[in-house]
Structure 1
Amino acid sequence: MNIVRSVGGKLAGLVLTLFLASLLVFFSRFLVPGDPLSFLLRGRKPSPEAIAAVTEQYGLNLSPWEQYLKWIGGIFTGDFGRSMQYRQSVSEVLLDRLPVTLGLVIIAGLLITVFGLAAGILAAVKRGTWVDRTVVVTLTAFGAIPSFVAAVGFIALFAVQLGWFPSFGSGEGFWDTIRHLILPSAALALVYVVLIGKVTRSAMVEQLGREHVEVATSRGLTQAAVVRRHVLRNAVGPILTVSGMLVAGLLVSSSIIESAFGLSGLGSLLVHSVDRLDFPVVQAIVLLVVAVFVAVNAVVDLLQPLVDPRTVAGAGAR
């Protein structure tokens, strides 16, 4: 019953958060200077009949609340409205750009997981040695590099000087696309590798000082077995919590990286849509980012008791 209540509470919180986010996302458009009708007409002086037709087509003749209800009702059927700059369904525009952003985030996530965990584990196991100090200093230095600076540096070194990877475009075909996404993914992942590395080191150092770890070591278990069974397993909780928060960061930061590498993904689409007052596209992307962020964090909260049962015991004790 506790599990059912917990899941029900998380789902209710998820629905409420998405509802409030939808209100904020939709009605914020009325605070932005600029008239979408002016963009649609592009400086022309059409007849009143033409203006009325365009206004009705995009629902601009309705009251704000009527527009919201129409918009939120369409979302449940996959209809996010019609793009003002592309003159086609917002859903079609997003689906055309989604694979690039999805590939970028997945590759960046893999890099973050592999290198972040490896750096944190190495520093924790070798704590107090020159290896630990080197890893910490390196992570600190990399953490001070913004994503757009890393993008420029990677392009200059690996694309221009060494010629190992392309510096522009999304590529064609599966393997060519992967090759085009390596540098953008590395630039996107750099800051988050630092974060995961530091969190992993901190969590593991804390666990290494626990009594049960000393007991396991005194019984003759190898260091690898102690780290795997008693240290890393108990340190996964904080790492998982931080990883959930990284999702939104990756999606938001992708706009900078996609613009730098000329990728046709959701990030660059968001930048162009904001510049051109394409409100339906902006609203759809922002709501999608919020939905993914909230959903991932809800999943992390539900997985937390499975990963670390002590959280359930602690909650029951209170």
Structure 2
Amino acid sequence: MRFLARRLSALVGVLLASSMIVFGALYLAPGSPEQFLVQGRTVSPEVLAAIRSQYSLDDPLPIRYWKWLSGLFTSDLGRSLLTQQDVGALIASRIPTTLSLAAFAAVLIIAFGVGLGILAGTRGGFAERIVIFASNLGIAVPTFFAALVLMSVLSVGLGWFPVFGAGDGVVDRIWHLTLPALALSLPAIAVVARITRTAIVDESESEHVLIAVARGLPKRIILWRHTVRNSLLPVSTAVGMQIAGLIAGAFVVEYAFTLDGIGALLVNSVQRKDFAVVQAIALIMVVAFGVVNLLVDLLYAIIDPRVRLEKGRS
């Protein structure tokens, strides 16, 4: 519990510092909200002054930050300059698509990334060479290009999957999100497979595994209890980092497959200088990254009790 309390305190500090950076960076970027609102028209100084007063743009930056930060505790994320909708309601209508896409991609990363890495690390030979070649290819192919190839082959060519939309209902949504999730997860699957294979190969040559072999323990026990389990620490770190970055990387896939998620909303809001929406989505990404990292740290103690003992002594 002390370890959890320390990690939660650190997470709160990271979120506070990140909120300052996100809020300040947008106001340092070229352009301004009032320039977007006037749409390039020539307006009088009085109109510009009224716009700046309406959106509190004349207040000092620390005061604007405090108003925004205090609004977060009351679920008031402001109003969109583009649609005049409440930002919380606007994001809430789109976040299920992004979360479904990220969750689907996370399952693919764990299943195929870890599975292929274990296969390559334990079998060797032809299987290992195939996994290494495929992982090199997956790392080299950009996500947007992978999305285009998957659409061209599996949607347009073979007609197995739909090209656009997120679908309705559980089964239909899985069917619609299969190609986007695959495109989003391909680089991560390649990275996790390589790290898993390397961790298992290194662990299989460790002293305690060699002692288990010398004692004549069954190969299945040596593989799963000694080799695979002890190689999961670096693997869980890699999986956690890749999953944490899924929401941030989803905007490319959402744009390619015309999905109404927060990634596509972020791109549109950045282009239109819709500050309130950009700030809220950026903060959501930071929260997701921090929470996943916290879960990975807690997973360490489950995989290896020595981590829990070391944390307790620190």
TM range (shorter): over 0.9
Alignment of 1:261-272 (within 5 A): 261-272=257-268
Match of residue 67 from structure 1:
64
User: Residue 57 in 1 paired to residue 54 in 2?
Assistant: yes
Alignment of 1:61-140 (within 5 A): 61-127=58-124, 129-140=125-136
Residues 58, 82 of structure 1: 8 Å contact kept: no
TM score, norm. by length of structure 2: 0.92
Match of residue 138 from structure 2:
142
Residues 147, 187 of structure 1: 8 Å contact kept: yes
Question: What number of residue pairs does the alignment pair up?
Answer: 314
Q: Deviations over 1:129-165 (max 9, x none)?
A: 2221222122112221111111010011000110000
Residues 110, 239 of structure 2: 8 Å contact kept: no
CA distance in 1: counterparts of 2:197 and 2:39, whole angstroms? 56
Match of residue 157 from structure 2:
161
CA distance in 2: counterparts of 1:189 and 1:246, whole angstroms? 9
Which amino acid is 2:209 matched to?
Answer: V
Q: 5+ residue gaps in structure 1?
A: none
Which amino acid is 2:98 matched to?
Answer: T
User: Residue 250 in 1 paired to residue 246 in 2?
Assistant: yes
Deviation at 1:222, TM superposition (A): 3.6
Q: Deviations over 1:150-207 (max 9, x none)?
A: 1010011000110000111222333222211100000000000011111111111122
Which amino acid is 1:306 matched to?
Answer: I
Match of residue 9 from structure 1:
6
Q: Deviations over 1:27-85 (max 9, x none)?
A: 11221111201222334566777655543432223221111111000011111111111
Name the % identity: 41
Match of residue 176 from structure 2:
180
Residues 248, 290 of structure 1: 8 Å contact kept: no
For residue 29 of structure 2, the aligned residue among 17, 27, 32 is 32
CA distance in 2: counterparts of 1:316 and 1:178, whole angstroms? 42
Which amino acid is 1:260 matched to?
Answer: A
For residue 286 of structure 1, the aligned residue among 259, 282, 306 is 282
For residue 260 of structure 1, the aligned residue among 256, 261, 277 is 256
CA distance in 1: counterparts of 2:76 and 2:311, whole angstroms? 42
Match of residue 295 from structure 1:
291
Deviation at 1:307, TM superposition (A): 1.8
Which amino acid is 1:174 matched to?
Answer: V
Q: 5+ residue gaps in structure 2?
A: none
Q: Deviations over 1:106-126 (max 9, x none)?
A: 010111111111111111111
Deviation at 1:247, TM superposition (A): 2.9
CA distance in 2: counterparts of 1:316 and 1:176, whole angstroms? 47
User: Residue 200 in 1 paired to residue 196 in 2?
Assistant: yes
Deviation at 1:299, TM superposition (A): 2.6
User: Residue 227 in 1 paired to residue 227 in 2?
Assistant: no
TM score, norm. by length of structure 1: 0.91
Residues 98, 265 of structure 1: 8 Å contact kept: yes
Deviates more, 1:49-58 or 1:31-40: 49-58
Residues 82, 90 of structure 1: 8 Å contact kept: yes
